[in-house]
Amino acid sequence: MDTPDTLPCPCGSGRPLPACCGRYHAGELAGQAPDAEALMRSRYSAFVLDRLDYLLASWHPDTRPASIEPNEPGLRWLGLEVKRHQRQDADHATVEFVARSKLGGRAHRLHEVSRFERIDGRWYYLDGDLSRSR
């Protein structure tokens, strides 16, 4: 049986949550993902765990919404696949990913190419081109 310290990270790394995305959600490394891919993985994990505070804090100030709604009851996140991580320069990067979920017996697939920007050494989610399919 998994304990909180051994629960696998939702991002699919195979590492325990506290040694993976959990260290960016809270504690000493809060908000300090080393690159855009790590930030994107930590944001996926935050969606799975309903860490709305982290999602807002890691959203670029120019595009951040005032609030985020919690997950719909019954929503299950099924997995994350990072397809590509590309740096444009020292402070700009894109990450293409597919996140799968299920709600009300229906499978959903979220495919996005996200843009990230680093400000004062910290990475933020800026925006993304989204295509949803079942």
What pLDDT score does 29 carry?
Answer: 74
Domain limits, the chain: 17-133
3 pLDDT more than 70 = no
What pLDDT score does 6 carry?
Answer: 79
Residue 134: pLDDT band by 50, 70, 90 thresholds? very low
How many whole angstroms separate alpha carbon 24 and alpha carbon 36? Answer: 13
pLDDT per residue as tens digits for the range 39-80:
999 999 999 999 999 999 999 999 999 999 999 999 999 999
Architecture in CATH of 17-133: Roll (3.10)
What pLDDT score does 4 carry?
Answer: 58
How many whole angstroms separate alpha carbon 46 and alpha carbon 65? Answer: 16
